[in-house]
Amino acid sequence: MSEYRISVGGDSPGRDLHQLAQWLRQDSATRTEATITLQSAKPAEGQMGTALDVIALVTQSGFSTASLVLTIYAWRRTRPSTPVVTIERNGTRVTVDSGDPAEVARIAQALENE
């Protein structure tokens, strides 16, 4: 099993996070191979951490990181402001902030080579 932690930046991160979680739950590959939950991120020192601000995605073996990244790219294209999405897996953190399809392979490779 692997765990991915996904966060969303931008103008409406809370709303966008919930909408991304819903999008992932509707994606057939993601919903059959992963458990998706909303969690609070660890607060920075001196801050309170009460908001739901991370999607935790726990996956089964055989889960496709490239498919996850493609699903996130598809979701970003539906957003009016194309929010920045950060994906973390085993200490490797990548940012999805462009619409360039060539980035999918680079991001998936970085996450799989943790």
> Residue 47: its pLDDT value, please?
62
Residue 2 is which amino acid? Answer: S
Partnered with residue 57 across adjacent β-strands are: 4, 36
Tokens 């309170």 sit on residue: 48
* Residues belonging to the chain: 114
Tens-place pLDDT, residues 46-92: 666 555 689 999 998 888 888 899 899 999 989 888 899 999 998 99
Between CA 84 and CA 41 the distance in angstroms is: 17
Between CA 67 and CA 4 the distance in angstroms is: 13
Other C-beta atoms lying within 10 Å of the C-beta of residue 22:
12
Question: Chain-wide mean pLDDT for the chain?
Answer: 86
> Residue 45: its pLDDT value, please?
66
